[in-house]
């Protein structure tokens, strides 16, 4: 069962190894890898948090606001990019055991996509995040970005 403390592990400073496809919708596209740094702060006694990731390779920063809805026992993950200055549509979901899975709808390159974020491998010193897109309403998924977090 999900709780307001699911993301407590993430508070603090992290080194991040990014690996992402050069084209998020092309399964044959290449991958690029680059480092980043991230810092996360708790809000609302743990039922929310805010992180900022600095990705010099992309000349960009990103921020995620995570909010726990006590009524539905779900999290909303809300991503914003310094490049566009926009807040992307949220992904919603929860942790079941050691794995958190979150889904939402967005557009990419003019196409409607279903978005999936997965948090796994969570410990006090490491975690893994991955993003996948589906163009067939979730029947198939293409992982297009992974982040390996290690405690700074």
pLDDT tens, residue by residue, 136-149: 999 999 999 999 99
Contact predicate 16/35, CB 8 Å? yes
Looking at 70-110, which runs of residues are DSSP E strands? 74-81, 91-96, 99-108
User: Each residue of 4-42: pLDDT tens digit?
Assistant: 999 999 999 999 999 999 999 999 999 999 999 999 999
Residue 31 lies in a domain: yes
Domain encompassing residue 59: 8-151
Measuring CA to CA, which residue among 101, 54, 55, 98 is closest to residue 74? 101
Residue 2 in any domain: the answer is no
Long-range contacts of range 46-52, CB-CB < 8 Å, 24 or more positions apart? 46/4, 46/5, 46/7, 46/8, 47/4, 49/7, 49/10, 49/11, 51/10
Is the pLDDT reported for residue 1 higher than 90?
Answer: no
**How many domains does the structure of the chain reveal?**
1
Please state whether 124 falls in left (phi above 0), alpha (psi between -120 and 50) or beta: alpha
**The domain spanning residue 36 has which CATH number?**
2.40.128.20
| 1 assigned to some structural domain | no
Residue 86 in any domain: the answer is yes
User: For residue 91, is it within any domain?
Assistant: yes
Higher pLDDT, 118 or 2: 118
């Amino acid at each position: 069962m999900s709780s307001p403390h699911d993301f407590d592990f993430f508070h603090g400073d992290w080194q991040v190894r990014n690996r992402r496809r050069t084209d998020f919708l092309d399964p044959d596209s290449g991958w690029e890898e680059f480092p980043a740094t991230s810092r996360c702060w708790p809000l609302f006694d743990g039922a929310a948090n805010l992180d900022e990731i600095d990705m010099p390779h992309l000349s960009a920063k990103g921020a995620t606001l995570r909010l726990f809805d006590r009524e539905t026992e779900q999290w909303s993950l809300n991503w914003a990019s310094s490049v566009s200055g926009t807040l992307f549509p949220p992904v919603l979901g929860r942790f079941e055991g050691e794995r958190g899975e979150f889904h939402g709808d967005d557009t990419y390159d003019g196409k409607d996509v279903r978005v999936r974020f997965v948090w796994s491998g969570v410990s006090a010193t490491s975690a893994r995040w991955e993003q996948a897109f589906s163009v067939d309403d979730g029947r198939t998924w293409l992982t297009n970005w992974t982040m390996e977090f290690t405690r700074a």
